[in-house]
Amino acid sequence: MSSCVGSRRDAWVTSGWFVLFAILNTASGVCFKQSGTDAAHRVEYFVVAATLGWTCMAITMVLYRRMNANLVSAVNAGIGAIALNLALWWLFSTDLTALQWLGIVAAAGGTALALVGGMDTAARSRAAAARGEAS
Amino acid sequence: MAKVTLLLVLFYATQVAAMLLFKAGSLRAGPGARGRCLAFWVLGNLVGTGSVAFMVKVYELMPSKPNLAAVLGTGGTFIACQLAFAVVFRSRLTVRQWAGIAIVAAGAMLTCLGGRR
């Protein structure tokens, strides 16, 4: 039971890190965009964007300790693409084409599949380990 | 075309190097782990930031196709990093996980390619 609670808590902590990455990565992308379009505050926006970007890489390193690197990279790419495109659409009234909406849906579906795709294997490993301990 | 290809290869190589540095810095070790982690973080960010120069040149050489340049940059980097992690760290993922990763790549590329010009 304690291992189940621990792994559930672990999943929430990992999810929290992914959410934080998505927020900061999106903020960085928006600031890079503003750095390109707001000539009066180009340098300030660039510095903020770069700082947020470096912070995102620190979060990525934390996630590398908790999960397989391929999955971390995929989930970050997926939620990054989704969050940034939605943020640009909402903040700047950007028209997203049907292809872009399809891309957002695909990124969401792919992220979910990558995360749950190994659950059966992990569950079987835990069950086998439990049977081994019991005998 | 050859120049664009060379610049893209250099961009992918430096991006992969940066991600491998971040991964290496995240590996647990004995004494001095924090300092090592910080050093790899700084080095990885310096390499990653420097790689942007290659992508800027690609955009310069493809002024009429920025969406395509973005797809080649982000999509190619993502695929290169996935392969590098799989080879270097011998990732054991299920078929479904690899399918999910491929769909994420396709989705990210669609969001770049599908934009209005």
Q: Report pLDDT digits (tens) over A4-53.
A: 445 778 888 999 999 999 999 999 988 988 888 888 888 899 899 989 99
* DSSP symbol at A67: S
Residues in chain B: 117
Task: Tell me which chain B residues have a C-beta less than 8 angstroms from the C-beta of A51.
Answer: none
> What is the least distance, in Å, from the CA of A5 to any CA of chain B?
24
pLDDT at res. B61? 87
Token duo for residue A73:
């990279």
CA B69-B74-B80 angle, to 5 degrees, is 120
> What is the least distance, in Å, from the CA of B68 to any CA of chain A?
14
Query: Nearest residue of B to residue A96 by CA position?
Result: B115
- Alpha-carbon dihedral of residues A65, A70, A71, A74, nearest 10 degrees? 130
Q: Report pLDDT digits (tens) over B10-43.
A: 999 999 999 999 999 988 667 778 888 999 999 9
Closest to A104 in 3D by CA, of A82, A74, A77, A76: A82
Q: Report pLDDT digits (tens) over A100-120.
A: 888 889 988 988 888 887 666
Cβ-nearest to B100 among A102, A105, A111:
A111
Does the distance separating the beta carbons of B106 and A99 come in below 8 Å?
Answer: no
Model confidence at A128, pLDDT cuts 50, 70, 90, reads low
Q: Report pLDDT digits (tens) over B40-97.
A: 999 999 999 888 888 888 888 888 887 788 888 888 899 999 999 999 988 888 888 8
Region of A93 please: left (phi>0), alpha (psi -120 to 50) or beta.
left
Residues in chain A: 135
In terms of DSSP H, where are the helices of chain B? Answer: 2-26, 33-61, 66-88, 95-113
